[in-house]
A and B are shown apart, each in its own frame.
Chain A
Amino acid sequence: MSTDWKKDWKKIARANGLAIPDAALERIAQSLDALEADFRPLVRTLPPETEPAVAFHAAIELSHDRKGVEDSE
């Protein structure tokens, strides 16, 4: 499945202030276009309630902080 539009990687690089030479961008454009074509249709299947696989665990953060405090004491 392919997208009906293509991203302009050179413009994206410039807009993000990335110092990637044009020649390098031309070499990777095909890989990025192929990845876009595979990835974009998958994103459209996502129901809004699906949460990301990475999560913030406040309790673990606190236990680390406490250990740091104990060590310094």
Chain B
Amino acid sequence: MTLLEAAAALRRRDTSSAELTAAYLQRIERLNPSTNAMQTVMADAAREQAKQADHELARGDDRGPLHGIPIAVKDLFSTKGVRTTGGSSLFADHVPDHDAAVVESLCAGGAVLVGKTGMHELAYGITSSNPHFGAIRNPWDRDRIPGGSSGGSAAAVAAGMVSMAMGSDTGGSIRIPASFCGVVGLKPTYGRVSRYGAMPLGFSLDHMGPLTRSVRDAAAVLNGIAGHDPRDETSSRRPVENYVPDLEPSIRGLRIGLPENFYLESLDPDVDAAVRAAFKTAESRGAEIVPLRVPDIAAINTVARVILLAEASALLEPHLEQRDRFGPDVLALLDQGRLLPATDYINAQRLRSALQREFAGLWSRVDCLFTPTTPITAPRIGETATTVGGQSQDVRLTTTRLVRAINALGLPALSVPCGADRRGLPIGLQIIGQPFAEALILRVAQALVPAEVPVPRL
């Protein structure tokens, strides 16, 4: 059941928040041992919140579509009085005294917080094979990674443990797990959703957004969490729209960019076929497909890597003497960041400005771009190299290749399921829009994606 279907059922009195919450908690109890998607389950608090939501709804005090809906948030969002680890042993006992802005907004909307989802250590990686809290497993094939860093959020939504879980995305960390787990993942424009109270990784690259089972659910959540927050220096004052698209929106006449370079190179053949089929579907619904050459995405990826290495190492510098508190992959990245001179960081931010201006030129020619989210489907747990187009490639670099640049550009982007590979593993389509065009990319996605995404039988 999607979030909005549950919301409708609550208002028809077909179910109650207490019943929904009990059902999700039961599913968590059954499936968490094999997926490890939930790091902390807040059963008692959730039951109390659900009871309160039922009372409020019964007396006509309706706070909107999130009211009474069981949800989860990634374990880097501060939750008052509830442990928030960031997937790190450094913060294993950290109990914040405040809620993150996103948590505040969701709770103000009446959502029932059933727990915190597991993640890649410090959100700095794409496997979610966490050395401190265990590997998170993909519900489609539990020998495979769910992607990361918001792996627990994607796995929880795909497994039906919650209808929505919040994630964060610094170099693809919402879109990659959405692609690997076959759910919808939305990374809004930089500044659209407050970062306040979310453990940072890369200050100028971090974005917060939802993972859901439908496009309309992601839009409904964005309605609840978007908006200016003075506690986040980079928060936008641009007014919030209604992001929820019609059930069957028109995309007639919309111009969809078909990248002739970079994005459709070196792909798994099943991914290539599924993404090309998505262009055909969009065309059959009246969209105009516009072939074009995109700016140097490899250069933007390089710039984004330099920025992230420097920002993450600067942030974690005070802890870096405790080398045994980090997993080897995260420590290797943090060491790299410490070796970059300050001039590289400044020059990367200068290059970012130049490349941002160059990329902005695309928006006079198209309304959005379609690309694959990931060149491959979910790799096996522990796999560090994969073969794409006959060449052995590093799993981390391959997985982030098509998503990382969009963080440096701050653009809104959505990953939606667009088919499955020969093994039945989900394939993701990335839809990229110009700044603050969330409503448009959600509309396009809604026109292509089923009302509820296919989910694994568990």
Chain A residues engaging chain B, CB cutoff 8 angstroms: 9, 12-13, 16, 18-20, 24-25, 27-28, 31-32, 35, 38-39, 42-43, 45-47, 50-54, 57, 60, 63-64, 67
Contacts and interface: CB of A to CB of B under 8 A. Distances in A.
A53 B336 contact: no
12 contacts: A28-B335, A31-B336, A32-B339, A35-B306, A39-B302, A39-B344, A42-B299, A46-B354, A53-B350, A53-B356, A57-B233, A67-B230
A69 B335 CA distance: 40
Given A35-B306, A38-B298, A63-B230, A54 B349 contact: yes
Given A16-B338, A18-B339, A28-B335, A51 B350 contact: yes
Interface in B310-356: 321, 331-332, 335-336, 338-339, 344, 346-354, 356
Interface residues of B, number: 28
Contacts of B305: 35
Chain B interface main SS type: helix
B339 A9 contact: yes
B211 to A, nearest CB: 27
Given A18-B335, A35-B336, A53-B350, 4 more contacts: A39-B344, A46-B347, A64-B230, A67-B230
B339 A13 contact: yes
A12 B340 CA distance: 9
Q: By CB atoms of chain A within 10 A, which of B331, B338, B350 has the most?
A: B350
A43 B353 contact: no
A13 B335 CA distance: 9
Nearest to A37: B302
B349 A27 contact: no
Contact of B335 (A25, A38, A54, A64): A25
A56 B361 CA distance: 26
B346 A24 contact: no
Contact of B321 (A19, A39, A50): A19
Contacts of A24: 331-332, 335
B444 interface: no
B204 interface: yes
A60 B233 contact: yes
Contacts of A27: 332
Nearest to B352: A53
B302 A46 contact: no
Contacts of A12: 339
Give the interface centre of A39, A42, A67 by most chain B CB atoms within 10 Å: A42
B350 A50 contact: yes
Contacts of A31: 332, 336
A45 B353 CA distance: 13
